[in-house]
Amino acid sequence: MNDQDHARLPSAPSSDSERSPGLQNLQDLDPAVRSRLATERIVWLCTLRRNGSPHVTPVWFVFVRGTWWIGADRASVKLRNIENDPRISLALEGGEAPVVAEGRARIWHVTPGAAAAPDAEPAPEAAPTPSATAAAPSDPAAPVPVPSDVVTAFLAKYDWDVTATPPSASGRSGRVLFEVPVDRWLLAGTAQ
């Protein structure tokens, strides 16, 4: 994707009402939807290949503080796609009370064995870099500690410590996390 292509991409929503039509906060979600977000084990992630065609895969996720968190391997097609174009969509299985959301993924390069202190934000120089800021992927950002509530949520749901990732051949973590704030709920428990 070149600079002209990025110029044609729709801009990110500028307000909360644009991000989640009809939903001013997480509490506006139907309790059944909140329950599904807490208990479902698989969400379908759709990323865009360079040619614009969709790439759909089932992934593990947690939904923490109104944000989707998804684990992926550093060598995955998902990561390459998100580095090229961070726009994604997510869908929980089941058609009776569908849950479909859109957002822009931010990539976190996991620091093996490190979780941030509760409620800590990464320092600006260590903040994960949204991949859409560069026309071409650059050297991955330095690893940063994953927020502790995200680590705890993955442990509780999957018995998986996302910080216990083996290093790749380069010595960096072999795992990344995608942080996906919801830009828009397409379906939130009601078929349309």
Q: What pTM value is reported for the model?
A: 0.72
Note the pLDDT of residue 15: 42
Q: What is the 3-state secondary structure (H, E, C) of the chain?
A: CCHHHHHHCCCCCCCHHHHCCCCCCHHHCCHHHHHHHHHCCCEEEEEECCCCCEEEEEECEEEECCEEEEEEECCCHHHHHHHHCCEEEEEECCCCCCEEEEEECEEEEEEEEEECCCCCCCCHHHCCCCHHHCCCCCCCCCCEEECHHHHHHHHHHHCCCCCCCCECCCCCECEEEEEEEEEEEEEECCCC
* Most confident range, picked from 18-32, 126-140, 154-168: 154-168
Q: How far apart are CA 130 and CA 154, in angstroms?
A: 22
Strand partners, 180: 68
pLDDT digits over 134-155, tens only?
222 334 556 677 898 999 999 9
Residue 104 has pLDDT above 90, yes or no: yes
Note the pLDDT of residue 60: 96
pLDDT digits over 154-190, tens only?
999 999 888 886 655 555 557 899 999 999 998 877 6
Note the pLDDT of residue 168: 57
Of 44 and 140, the one with more pLDDT:
44
Note the pLDDT of residue 170: 53
Residue 131 has pLDDT above 60, yes or no: no
Note the pLDDT of residue 163: 84
Which domains, from first to last, does the chain contain?
A: 3-188 (2.30.110.10)
Q: Kindly state the percentage of the chain with pLDDT values over 90.
A: 44
Residue 127 has pLDDT above 90, yes or no: no
Of 151 and 113, the one with more pLDDT:
151
Q: Are 172 and 140 in contact (CB under 8 A)?
A: yes
